[in-house]
């Protein structure tokens, strides 16, 4: 009996070896390749940061709101978008169009929208809060909407804009995050299983320097300019006297506006949205940490929201509550006077004047 067991084990080992060898050959069936290329994320999150304060940085707010608009339109709910705006441009006294931020002097697209939810604003946009957010070390009692509650199945989009330099990004002109700090925070995210794949997008001067220090896996990064290059703004709106938007984000938004929820457009196409002749700066891309081929990754893997749905073919029996119950409730409630009147203390401290 023992002998036959050993024989069986050896036979199995040989079979496995031959099978793996055939799989290792170049003629692997296409469907296996495709399966690896397919994303296995379960939810989508976005962290969108505008790190600049002051009215003349209007374009940075327009940048970040452009991406906010796109991810929201493509299905990431507000509860999974962390939006950080260092200054209030929409209701700024200098803005002659209150509660509106446009990406274009023609005012076709109000990127601020009518139902924006800003999670961190004003003085709350700090390097500390940003790193705390990424690493999940928020202060006790932080509101749920201000936390990045991602898990190992989350595809995270991080978008940063502001004024940068070689190896740093300025926050509100008073502090800066270095590329090393950023890489450490993201490494911590990976160690804590806080993301599945990460798309890092940055629109600042010398933007490529920000992703240089990354070592964590599954990161696809794109930057509006290489080290030593400036990122440039697109155009000025003379009616409010400031630059509207930066070039890279302007063309990114132009591309994203054409993407629909069920779109088959790929990240590969997205990485080419701003060729040098329109961007003036060179768009930097870092793919070495990313396992999949960007040309086969759907853009909605990062910009769209996953809605896990299961289609059932069997009929489901749901008993509806009769309408009558609700009507009765409404009739039963007396409008006023039924409750005993309460005694309230005097609202004014009259006793002080006696």
Partner 1 sequence: MFSRLKFCFLILVISVNLSEQSEQYHEELFIKPLPNGFVNTFFQFTTRWNMASREDLLHTKLTPRPIAEVLYNYDVKELNIALTQGLWRYELWGYPVVDSAPGAEAWAWFNGDNLTESHVSRQWKDLTSTFSGILCASLNNIDEANTVQPKYSFRPRFVAPKNTKSFIKYSTLPRENVCTENLTPWKKLLPCSSEQGFASLLNSGYVHNTNYHSVKVAIRTFQEAKTGELTMELVLSANLVFDPILISSSKDYSIRKIFGQGLNGVCPMSSSSKIYVDITEDKFELVPDSDDVKESTRGASTTKFAIYDMKVISPNDLFNIAFVKKDKQNLVPIIPPPILTAHRYILAKGQEEGKIMTEVTNNHWADLNVVLQENIPWFVPSYMHTLTVKNGNEVLKIKEFHYIPGNDRERPYHLEIAFTVPAKSTVKVYFDFDYIFLKWTEYPPDANHGHYIGSAVVTALLPVAKNYTTIPVEGYLFEHSFNASRPSYFIQIHTESLLLSLPTPDFSMPYNVICLTCTVIALAFGPIHSVTTKILTVDTDGDENKGFIKKVIGKIRDKIKGKKSAPKESVEEKPKSE
Residues acting as catalytic residues: 163, 205
For residue 178, give the DSSP letter. E
Least distance CB 294 / partner 1 (angstroms): 33
Positions 233 through 262 that interact with partner 1 (CB under 8 A) = none
Which listed residue (39, 100, 104, 266) binds partner 1 by CB under 8 A?
100
In this structure, what token pair is assigned to residue 189? Answer: 């995210």
Minimum distance of partner 1 from residue 91's CB (angstroms): 4
* Tokens 């950080």 sit on residue: 84
Q: Identify the CA nearest to 122 among candidates 68, 58, 50.
A: 50
Name the DSSP class of 209.
Answer: G
Q: Provide CB contacts within 8 A for 263, sequence distance 6+.
A: 298, 299, 300
Q: What is the DSSP string of 78-91?
A: GGGEEEEESS--TT
Distance CA 203, CA 186 (A): 18
Which of 116/158 has CB closer to partner 1? Answer: 116
Determine, following the binding rule CB under 8 A, whether residue 3 of this chain makes contact with partner 1.
no
Closer residue to partner 1 in complex, CB, 40/174:
174
Task: Pull the structure tokens for residue 285.
Answer: 């891309």
Q: What is the largest CA-CA distance in the chain?
A: 107
If the CB atoms of residues 67 and 283 are measured against partner 1, the closer one turns out to be 67
Give ∠ CA 126-53-70 in degrees, rounded to 5.
Answer: 85
Stretch that binds partner 1, among 9-17, 135-143, 264-272, 294-302 (CB under 8 A): 135-143
Among 62, 67, 81, 90, binds partner 1 (CB under 8 A): 90
Kindly tell me the burial class for residue 227, based on how many C-beta atoms sit within 10 Å of its own C-beta (0-12, 13-18, 19 or more): middle
Instruction: Tell me: does residue 77 bind partner 1 (CB under 8 A).
Output: no
Structure tokens at 277: 């002749």
* # residues contacting partner 1 (CB under 8 A): 58
Closer Cβ to partner 1, 48 or 285, answer by number: 48
Distance from C-alpha of 317 to C-alpha of 320, rounded to nearest angstrom = 9
Nearest approach, Cβ of residue 152 and partner 1 (Å): 23
The verdict on 345 binding partner 1 (CB under 8 A) reads yes
Which residue in the set 1, 3, 20, 98 belongs to the binding site for partner 1 (CB under 8 A)?
Answer: 98
Site membership for partner 1, residue 54 (CB under 8 A): yes
Name the pairing type of β-strands 168-171 and 164-165. Answer: antiparallel
Q: Does 316 bind partner 1 (CB under 8 A)?
A: yes
C-beta of residue 257 within 8 angstroms of C-beta of residue 70:
yes
Q: Does 131 bind partner 1 (CB under 8 A)?
A: no
Residues of this chain that interact with partner 1 (CB under 8 A) are 53-54, 86, 88, 90-91, 98-100, 112-119, 121-124, 141-146, 172-174, 310, 312, 316, 318-319, 321, 325-326, 329-330, 332-333, 335-336, 339-350, 352-353
């Amino acid at each position: 009996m023992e002998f036959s067991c050993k024989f069986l084990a050896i036979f199995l080992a040989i079979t496995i070896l031959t099978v793996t060898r055939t799989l290792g050959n170049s003629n692997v069936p296409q469907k296996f390749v495709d399966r690896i290329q397919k994303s296995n994320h379960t939810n989508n999150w976005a962290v969108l940061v505008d790190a600049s304060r002051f009215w003349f940085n209007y374009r940075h707010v327009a940048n970040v709101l452009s991406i906010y608009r796109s991810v929201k339109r493509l299905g990431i709910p507000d509860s999974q978008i962390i939006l950080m705006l260092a200054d209030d441009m929409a209701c700024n006294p200098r803005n002659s169009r209150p509660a509106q931020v446009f990406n274009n002097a023609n005012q076709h697209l109000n990127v601020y929208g009518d139902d924006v939810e800003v999670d961190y604003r004003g003085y709350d946009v700090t390097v500390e809060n940003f790193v705390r957010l990424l690493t999940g070390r928020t202060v006790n009692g932080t509101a749920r909407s201000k936390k990045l509650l991602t898990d190992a199945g989350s595809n995270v989009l991080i978008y940063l804009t502001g004024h940068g330099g070689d190896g740093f990004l300025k926050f509100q002109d008073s502090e800066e995050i270095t590329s090393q700090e950023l890489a450490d925070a993201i490494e911590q995210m990976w160690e804590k299983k806080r993301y599945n794949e990460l798309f890092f997008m940055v629109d600042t001067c010398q933007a490529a320097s920000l992703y240089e220090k990354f070592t964590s896996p599954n990161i696809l990064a794109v930057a509006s300019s290489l080290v030593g290059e400036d990122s440039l703004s697109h155009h000025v709106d003379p009616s409010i006297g400031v630059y509207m938007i930066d070039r890279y984000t302007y063309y990114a938004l132009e591309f994203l506006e054409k993407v629909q929820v069920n779109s088959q457009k790929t990240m590969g196409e997205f990485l080419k949205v701003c060729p040098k002749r329109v961007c003036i700066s060179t768009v930097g891309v870092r793919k070495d940490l990313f396992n999949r081929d960007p040309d086969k990754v759907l853009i909605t893997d990062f910009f769209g929201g996953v809605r896990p749905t299961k289609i059932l073919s069997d009929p489901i029996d749901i008993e509806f509550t009769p309408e009558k119950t609700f009507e009765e409730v409404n009739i039963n409630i007396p409008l006023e006077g039924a409750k005993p009147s309460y005694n309230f203390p005097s609202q004014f401290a009259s006793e002080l004047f006696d």
